Amino acid sequence: MINLLLEPLSFEFMRNALIIVVLLGILCAVTGSYLIVQRMGLLGDVIAHAVLPGLAIAFYLGIDIFLGAFISGILSTLVISWIESQSRVKIDAAMALVFSGFLALGILLITLLESRLDLHNFLFGDILSVTSKDVIRTLLITLSVLVFVKIFYSYLLFYTFNALGAQAMGLPVTWIHLGLVSAITLTIIASMQAVGVVLVVSLLVGPSITAYLLVKELHHMMGLGAIIGSISGVTGIYLSYYLNVPSGAAIVLVVTVFFILALFLSPSQGILTRSQRGALQPMVEKDN
């Protein structure tokens, strides 16, 4: 058993992959929790696909593609906010339009600019190809986002659950929103190489909604989500190594299994524990 755990660690690419997947488990849980409680899970999917035009332009200009992806991702959220504020269009419809529009623009730019951008890796990821440079970049992104959340946690908490109240109290809600969107965009950019944009939303949302079924406080949700995300990532990497299956898909499937277990077995919200909760309710009322 120990040999099964230690054998992959003899390879540098496996060590890099395991480090990154633990960092991403923490990072995705923290930012994904805000998406869940705001009922904005689709926003992660929008940003994940909206980075494509930025990737294409940055690749053509010979600059850091992650910088292009960040700018494009932020721009997509600004467009969504602008459409919502300037029209009767609801935010879900605006996100759907921006999602398809930015994705189409990205594909068009790749064709027109004759870009040699590897769409397969962009769509499906390849965490086993990460380098030490990628590990450092992911570590810096993770630390930056965690520091931001730690410093502004009370403001983010207030804004997340009562945006109108935060605005009435004089809080800089525009900057809070921009900071939160920036953190989510950085998380998606860091996760793209691991699982690709097709599966990035599962990694961003899956551990958070699993924790949401098990705990009630936001900070508990972040902590438990980080544990679930990290364990899922490590398990998925080992499954990928021994079964010779795509790493991104393996990670997301493990995340999905954790969610299904919580959905059925959660003590407070599980489907299979409803009868037990129903049986305990009369006893509690009798004691009171």
Q: What is the pLDDT of residues 29-53, one digit of tens each?
A: 999 898 888 887 778 888 888 888 8
Spatial distance between the Cα atoms of 270 and 263, rounded to a whole number of angstroms:
5
pLDDT value of residue 256: 93
pLDDT value of residue 284: 47
Instruction: Look at residue 222 and tell me whether its pLDDT is greater than 80.
Output: yes
pLDDT value of residue 167: 83
> Which residues touch 154 (CB under 8 Å, ≥6 apart)?
none
Q: What is the mean pLDDT of residues 104-132?
A: 77
Q: What is the mean pLDDT of residues 258-263?
A: 94
- The answer to whether 31 and 244 are in contact (CB under 8 A) is no
Q: What is the mean pLDDT of residues 213-220?
A: 90
Spatial distance between the Cα atoms of 127 and 106, rounded to a whole number of angstroms:
23
- Closest by CA position to 182, among listed 208, 205, 149: 149
Spatial distance between the Cα atoms of 156 and 275, rounded to a whole number of angstroms:
37
Instruction: Look at residue 276 and tell me whether its pLDDT is greater than 70.
Output: no
pLDDT value of residue 210: 93
Percent of the chain with pLDDT over 70: 91
- For the entire predicted model, the pTM comes to 0.84
- The answer to whether 53 and 106 are in contact (CB under 8 A) is yes
- Long-range Cβ pairs for the range 107-116 (8 Å, 24+): 107/52, 109/52, 109/53, 109/56, 109/57, 109/60, 110/52, 110/56, 113/56, 113/57, 113/59, 113/60, 115/56, 115/59, 115/60, 116/59
Q: Mean pLDDT over all residues of the chain?
A: 84
Query: Which domains can be identified in the chain, with CATH numbers?
Result: 2-209 (1.10.3470.10)
Instruction: Look at residue 277 and tell me whether its pLDDT is greater than 80.
Output: no
Q: What are phi and psi of 196, to 5 degrees?
A: 80, 165
pLDDT value of residue 257: 95
> Pick the residue with more confidence: 115 or 69?
69
